[in-house]
Amino acid sequence: MFSSDYEHNFGQILIVDDNPDNLRLLSKMLESKGFKVKKTVSGEIAIQAAKIEPPDLILLDINMPDMNGYEVCRQLKSQEKTANIPIIFISALDQTTDKVIAFEIGGADYITKPFQELEVLARVRNQVVIYQQNQQLIQQNKILQQEITERQRVEAALLAANQQLQLFVFLDGLTGVANRRKFDEYLNLEWQRLAHKKLPLSLLLCDVDFFKNYNDTYGHLTGDDCLKQIAKTLKLSVKRPSDLLARYGGEEFAVILSNTNEKGAIYLAEDIRQKVYNLKIPHAQSKVDNFVTLSIGVATIFPNMQIAPNTLIEVGDKALYTAKAQGRNRIVA
Ligand code: GH3
Ligand code: MG
Ligand code: MG
Ligand code: MG
C-alpha cells in the first residue's frame, strides 16, 4: 500500500555524510526512485538547509569531522521548524548503545553500513509516508481549528446582536427607560419571587399634571423634551438594581420597588415629586402651579400567587386618582 501510494507523492530528502562516495551512491539510488535529493558533507550546512527548506526526511551519518550526527540531530530537534522532520541515522556504528542513543535523541530509524539499497529504500519510503500523512493531518487540524475559531466569532457576534435587540425590545424610544413590555415582565417576575420570599412589593404610578395643557401651550416637541427631563430626574431617584423605572403610558411613569414597604415607597415618592417640582419647568396653563408637577399613587402589597399582579396596578391607579382629585402635585398611598 505504501509503495503504490508513494509513487504519486515523491518526497524531498536531505543526505548528510562526510563520505562523498556514500553521498553519491545514496542520492543516485533515491533519485532513480523519484525522490528529490539534496546532499552535504557538513552537519552545520545540513541544519541551515533544513531550516530554509525543510525536507521530508534526513538521512544522517554519525561519524563526521565537524559535527557528529547525534549533535546535528539534537539541534534539529530543538528547533520548531525542523523538530518534526524524520531522521534516519545511517552509520557504521553497529553497537546497540549507538542505536539506543540515536532513538533516545529522536531518531526515527537506524541503518547500519554497509547498507543494502533495497532496505534503505524501504525504510526511507516508510518514514516519508508517515511524515507526509502527519503533515496532512496537521494541516487538516489547522483548517478545522480556523473553522472553529470563525464559528465562535460568528456566535459571539450573534449573541451581541441578540443582546442589543433585547435592549431595544424593552426600551422606551423617547426617554430611554424601560417600556411597558419590560414593566409587565418584571412585575410578574418580582411578584413570584417576593410571594415566595413573603416580602412586600411597592409600586409608584407617577402622572404628569395637566400635561395636555402643556402640549397645547408649548407644542408637542417641547412636551417630549419635558418627558425626557422628567425621566432623567426619576432615574436619579431609582437607584437600587432590583427597582425598575418604566414609562407606563404617555405621560405616566411607573416605579417597581422590590422588597419595599409602604413607608419606604412613600419616602421615595415624595423625593421624586420634589425633584420634579424643583426642575421648575414653566407650565403657564397648569391649574396647580406655574411649574410642571407630578401626582403619584403609591401601592404596597405582599404578593401571593392567589391574586394577580395587576392588583398592585389597580391599587396604585386608585391612589393616583385620589391624588388628582385632591388637587394634584401630591402623593397618595
Ligand atoms: P391630568 O393632570 O389629569 O393627568 O391631566 P393630563 O392633561 O395630564 O391628562 P390627559 O390624560 O388628559 O392627557 C395626557 C396628555 O399627555 C395627552 C397627550 O397628548 C400627552 N402625551 C402622551 N404621550 C405623549 C408624548 O409622548 N409626548 C407628548 N409631548 N405628549 C404626550
Ligand atoms: Mg562518516
Ligand atoms: Mg395620564
Ligand atoms: Mg396627566
58: its cell numbers: 534526513
Instruction: State the cell numbers at 191.
Output: 411578584
| Alpha carbon of 212 to ligand 1 centroid (Å) | 5
From the CA of 22, the nearest ligand is 2
- Is the CB of 183 within 6 Å of ligand 1? no
The pLDDT of residue 9 is 56
Q: Give yes or no for residue 316 having a pLDDT over 80.
A: yes
Binning pLDDT at 50, 70 and 90, where does residue 3 land? very low
Considering only CA atoms, which residue is closest to atom 10 of ligand 1? 212
Can you give the pLDDT at residue 167? 84
What's the burial of 43, exposed, middle or buried (CB within 10 Å: 0-12/13-18/19+)? Answer: buried
- DSSP, collapsed to helix, strand or coil, labels residue 332 as strand
Asked if the model's pLDDT at residue 8 lies above 90, the reply is no
C-alpha cell at 30: 533515491
CB 243 within 8 A of CB 314: no
Radius of gyration of the chain (CA): 42
pLDDT score, position 270: 98
Task: Please report where in the chains the cell 411578584 appears, as a residue.
Answer: 191
Tell the residue nearest (CA) to atom 12 of ligand 1.
212
Q: Is 227 close to ligand 1, i.e. is its CB under 6 Å away? A: yes
Q: How many whole angstroms separate alpha carbon 89 and alpha carbon 64?
A: 12
CA of residue 201 to ligand 4 center, whole Å = 24
pTM for this prediction: 0.64
Confidence of residue 6 (pLDDT cuts 50, 70, 90): very low
C-alpha 298 to ligand 1 mean position (Å): 20
Q: Which three cell numbers stand for residue 19?
A: 563520505
Cis peptide bond upstream of 20, omega within 30:
no
206 CA → ligand 4 middle, Å: 9
> How many residues are listed for the chain in this entry?
333
**Cα→Cα distances 215→149, 209, 286, 287, 322, Å:** 55, 12, 11, 14, 24
* pLDDT, mean of residues 151-162: 96
208, 230 contact by CB (below 8 A): yes
Over residues 45-90, the pLDDT tens digits come to: 999 999 999 999 999 999 999 899 999 999 999 999 999 999 999 9
Mean pLDDT, the chain, integer: 95
For residue 290, the CA-to-ligand 4 centroid distance in Å is 15
Asked if residue 252 has its Cβ within 6 Å of ligand 1, the reply is no
User: Which atom of ligand 1 lies nearest, measured to the CA of 207?
Assistant: 4
Pocket probe for ligand 1: among 215, 218, 224, 317, the residue whose CB has the most ligand atoms within 8 Å is 215
Cα–Cα distance measured from residue 104 to residue 237, given in angstroms and rounded to the nearest whole number: 74
According to the model, what pLDDT value does residue 166 have? 84
pLDDT tens sequence across 250-261: 999 999 999 999
Helices (H), 68-219: 69-77, 96-104, 117-169, 180-197, 211-218
CA 172 to chain centroid? 29
Strand-pairing partners, residue 22, are: none
- CA distances to 195, 298, 302 from 199, rounded to whole Å, are 7, 17, 6
